[in-house]
Amino acid sequence: MSNDPLKLQRRSLTPFLSKRVPPIPSEDERKVCPEKKSNWISQLFFLWLNPILKVGYKRTLQVDDMYLLADTTKVEYLATQFNSYFEHYLQIAQEQHIANKCTERGETVPTSSVDPDDDLADFKVPRKMFLWCLFLTCKWQYTFAAVSVTVAGLLNCLTPLVTKELIKYVEMKALGLEHHTGRGVGLAIGVPIMLISGSLCISQGFYRGMLTGAQLKGVLTKAILEKSFRLNPQSRHQFPASKITSMMSTDTARIDFAAGFQPFLISFPSSLICILVVLIVNLGASALMGFAVLVVFLVGIGGVSKKMFAVRKSATVFTDQRVNYIKEVLNNLKIIKFYSWEEAYFKIISDVRTKEMDRLYVMQGMRNIVITFSSTLSTFASIAAFLVLYSTGSSKSNPANIFSSISLFNVFSS
């Protein structure tokens, strides 16, 4: 691939397309992202991205090829929204804190003998309030993401029921007991429609979840940066530049990642209940054995994940120490060179890095265990359920029930 942005790229369909290479637009020619103004079909299938995709297929995309952000999606607008919510609920929390202090002294707020600033000396911002303000900043977008993922999960859970009926229809048709062709055609069409609808809902939910994560990352980065300019000497000592940099990069990146996948966690209970009900209908009491195996695996995964988060937290301590030492070296390089302290600082940073890497290796091992358990979850659960089904000689051991149940176990693991 050539480095020249205006050179036609050689791709599979290039011989069948026009050889004209689209020019790079100037700053004045850039268009605002048309997503919000496009029709619902364009938004559903992401057709508003076609102009960029067409250009990217012919030549390498440049920064000026990207859409400009709409006013309602810019960091400035979202940060203003977040700050207004935060200040509103912060005032309510502070007033409640002062009222609680007065109640403890047997006083009321108007008759308080203590200055409000003294009552607020031990005030801490509630974590739930902060999370609530983040949610309100992108409430409609994030709610739509959660609903989309939930609908997708329910569709994936209900699709095996339609598959089950289709298998029954084929069995009856082969035996000559089914004469209504329209029912089979309807079931055959219904399965792909449900699968496509589930995929579209997943795409919409994942896109809006990841978009919300990126927007919140920008909002928090701006808020942290503005706050760092207003720190007093005591706060500057408590939050040095290295720690602020770590918060704006590492911590906000984790919030970005979490916001993108949080809708899947929200949709998990409804999908779990739906899967369990359908499995009991298909396999009877045998499904409970498979569900018990699922619970055992989930408990194991939860325990390992909890330990992994604890190791991650301990590794963060050494990460902050390493960043602080490197910052100290960069700020005092002349003094270090003058006194020949290079080896001493190198040893300190190396030791901290070694301790950090030891914990990261342990965390990576735990992550591999979680991935292994997750990938084999459906296999062991289905084996346990079918063994019990076979040993009890249940009348439910027919192809329709078995194949639809296997699909449900696979849906659960995914």
Full domain range(s) for residue 348? 285-395
For residues 390 and 305, state if they share a domain.
yes
For residues 310 and 367, state if they share a domain.
yes
Q: Is residue 217 part of a domain?
A: no
Domain boundary among 112, 135, 158: 135
Q: Is residue 322 part of a domain?
A: yes
pLDDT at 412 over 80: no
pLDDT-derived band of residue 174, with 50, 70 and 90 as boundaries? confident
SS3 state of residue 230: coil
Overall domain count for the chain: 3
For residues 57 and 76, state if they share a domain.
no
For residues 386 and 291, state if they share a domain.
yes
- ∠ at Cα 98 (96, 103), nearest 5°? 90
pLDDT-derived band of residue 1, with 50, 70 and 90 as boundaries? very low
pLDDT at 192 over 90: yes
Q: How far apart are CA 316 and CA 161, in angstroms?
A: 47
**Helices H / strands E in the chain, number of each:** 14, 0
Instruction: List phi, psi (to 5°) of 176.
Output: 75, 20
- ∠ at Cα 381 (380, 382), nearest 5°? 95
Phi-psi category of residue 340: left, alpha or beta, with phi > 0 → left and psi -120 to 50 → alpha: left
Q: Is residue 99 part of a domain?
A: yes
For residues 76 and 58, state if they share a domain.
no
Residue range 43-98, pLDDT digits in tens:
999 999 999 999 999 999 999 999 999 999 999 999 999 999 999 999 999 999 99
Q: Is residue 272 part of a domain?
A: no
Residue 236 neighbours by CB under 8 Å, 6+ apart: none
Q: Is residue 105 part of a domain?
A: yes
Highest mean pLDDT among 159-173, 206-220, 305-319: 206-220
For residues 24 and 109, state if they share a domain.
no
Q: Look at the block and give the residue holding tokens 């997708």.
A: 152
Mean pLDDT of 379-398: 84
One-letter amino acid of 337? K
Q: Identify the sign of the CA torsion 116, 122, 127, 128.
A: negative
pLDDT at 325 over 80: yes
**pLDDT over 70, % of the chain:** 99
pLDDT at 106 over 90: no
Q: Is residue 159 part of a domain?
A: no
Mean pLDDT of 287-310: 90
Task: Locate 180 and state its tokens.
Answer: 């209504």
CB 138 within 8 A of CB 81: no
Angle, in degrees to the nearest 10, between helices 181-228 and 139-174: 160
